[in-house]
Amino acid sequence: MNYLSLLFIPIIFIFYYNTIAWLVESWMYNEYYSHGFLVPIISGYVIWNMKKELGSIERMPSQSGLVLFAAGIIIQGISVLWTIRFISGISLLLTLAGAIIYLYGWEFMKKIRFPFIFLLLMLPLPFIYMITSPAQMISVFATANLANLIGIPAVRDGLILTIPAGAFEVGVECSGINSMISLFMIGTIFAYVLDGSNLMKATILISTIPLALAGNVLRITSILVVAGRYGQEAAIDYFHDFSSLLLFSVALIGLFLVGRCFGRLRFKKIF
């Protein structure tokens, strides 16, 4: 079995070279997945810190791992034939899971299930562009209402918000999708390190979406406020980029407050 296990690495490399190249390219050039490089690093770091605990687990190699490995290779062939890259990414993880189970057993796989499942966040979602437009519309509608509520006369026309200081178009980069994806990744880590019920963890994960959208609405509204006070040029050229960090920080605080609603925050000792 030791000699056979050495075949896993070249087999995975041969069958998934294009998939890995696609992932790296997506992380480099897809603005929604620039965090992709961090995902395998975080997963590897968590597993590394579990090395003593993993070392104490008795290895019980399972032949069922070979079944998963073969299934992953077959799915890879289908995804290549139909050019479905996301399925190819899923296939890569399934194949890796099969290799791990075959070499170390189900108990080992169960122990590393979080860092392994966390790897799903490195895969670019095929439908991400389908939700960009609805997110833009929600952001524009909510911002217009909030701006009028705080005394800024704002008129909405499609994706354009007009105030006395000028007109502002809420583009794709202001849809809030970036913040949503990043906050979901952070929320996943936060839910994992917190010692609490599954309900608490699920609530934290679900809350990342409205928190990201709320943070984006506050960000756009703050740009309108700055424009109304200091002019459109100051809002776009100076405050626009800074506002992203500022309002993302607000969303992070909201994430901690959601966890705090379940009582005192207790963290696992995993690092």
Supply the pLDDT for residue 270: 56
Q: Give residue 269's pLDDT.
A: 64
Torsion of CA 49, 106, 5, 17, to 10 degrees: -70
What integer pLDDT is reported at residue 4 of this predicted model? Answer: 60
Whether 23 contacts 122, CB under 8 Å:
yes
What are the 10-residue block averages of pLDDT along the chain, 271 residues in total?
A: 68 90 91 88 92 86 90 92 89 94 92 94 85 88 92 89 87 82 91 86 91 90 88 78 78 87 71 50
Close Cβ partners of 223 (under 8 Å, ≥ 6 residues apart): 168, 235, 236, 239, 240, 243
Query: Which pLDDT score is estimated for 55?
Result: 84
Q: What was the pLDDT predicted at 122? A: 93
Strands of the sheet with 155-157, listed across from one edge:
155-157, 160-163, 166-169
Beta strand segments in the chain, E? 155-157, 160-163, 166-169
Q: Which residues pair with 194 in a beta bridge?
A: 267
Cβ–Cβ < 8 Å for 92, 76: yes
Provide the pLDDT for residue 74: 94
Give SS3 for 194. Answer: strand
Amino acid at 35: H
| pTM for this model (two decimals) | 0.86
